[in-house]
Structure 1
Amino acid sequence: MSRGKKLLGLLMAVGLSVGMSVTPVLAETTSILDEITAEETTEDFAEDTEYYPARSTNLNCGNVKIQKVNSGELAIYGLTQCHKKCSKVYLSLFLERKVNGGYSTYKVWEFTGKNVTSLSRTIDVIVPSGTYYRVRGYHAASNDGLKESASTLTQGIMIK
């Protein structure tokens, strides 16, 4: 055998043995989905209801919902429910967005009703994708100088 063929055979043998002993290492990627906490859900829908104490005079409960409509759109809903007709009913909805690991207010809507037993609103919102969104609600009812209030907060849902 010629010296060139022996050298080529030796290089191929070394190359194969080194190649077979190398274990590939995959880089770990971190995604916002990996960072899910108790504040978030993997569902496309979240809801919270807060009932005011049974001995309340005006306010019965408050409810908020958030739902993914598509990749860049949310539907949010809020309800303030009273035990009876109240002179003034309040509903505030705060859409919160998760940025740098914490939630902050992204948009706010405030509604009032006069001489009603409930107040509700549904709002469709176009939002940037790639993060979590949640809804915080403020619910109140007043009558004859007595104002009762409650707050609600959904888990965050991912908009991809």
Structure 2
Amino acid sequence: MKQKILKRLSIGVLAAFCTVSCFSITTVKASSLMEKVEERTDEETDATSATDTSSPRTRANHLNFGTVQINKLANNQCNVLGVVQAFHDCDKLYLDMSLEQKSGGSYSSYKVWNFTGLNTSLLSKSINVLVPKNHYYRLKGYHAAQDGGTKESTTTLTKGVWIGD
């Protein structure tokens, strides 16, 4: 009786030992699972911020320049900044910013803001934005100054900045 019990027990222990030794246990770091999903191209940068500044293509009487900037603040947060600078107080300044997210190899609009300033020569906005991490983000800007019947404009586009681990 004791031999039958010992035999069954030893067979059970041997089976458990074989099962555990047959399956290899692999330790996986969470950071290795969160590798960059998107490949970096010439449209992106390794830096944690990107800026673009533009002036009108023709000689301007009203609009001096427009600037946009994106800064990585955390693994899921960025700051976007847009500026419109005129040579003098204008009837109206326009600042449109579009935060774009890269997914599947191409960029698409993630969030859009539209601002106007009346009877001023400077319009600037800075916004902190929570975003899904592990994507490239870039900022597109439209900058315009209108005075009387004349409207002058320019566009800007930063390189993509990695927001994630």
Q: Same fold (TM over 0.5)?
A: yes
CA distance in 2, matches of 1:153, 1:34: 19
Shift, 1:156, TM fit:
0.3
What one-letter code is carried by the residue in structure 2 that aligns with 1:38? D
Secondary structure class of the residue paired with 1:142: strand
Secondary structure class of the residue paired with 1:132: strand
Q: Which residues of structure 2 form unaligned runs of 5+?
A: 1-32
What one-letter code is carried by the residue in structure 2 that aligns with 1:94? S
Secondary structure class of the residue paired with 1:96: strand
Query: 4+ residue stretches of structure 1 with deviation over 3 A?
Result: 31-34
Out of 59, 68, 90, the residue aligned to residue 64 of structure 1 is 68
Q: Is the 8 A contact 2:100 2:140 kept in 1?
A: yes
Shift, 1:55, TM fit:
2.2
Percent pairwise identity:
44
Shift, 1:51, TM fit:
1.7
Name which of structure 1's ranges 117-126 and 46-55 shifts more when overlaid on structure 2: 46-55
CA distance in 2, matches of 1:41, 1:53: 26
Out of 31, 34, 54, the residue aligned to residue 50 of structure 1 is 54
Residue 124, structure 1, aligned to residue 128, structure 2 = yes
CA distance in 2, matches of 1:94, 1:34: 20
Task: Flag the 1:110–1:151 CA change in 2: closer, same or farther, 3 A.
Answer: same
Shift, 1:33, TM fit:
6.6
Shift, 1:118, TM fit:
1.0
Match runs of 1:55-134 below 5 Å: 55-134=59-138
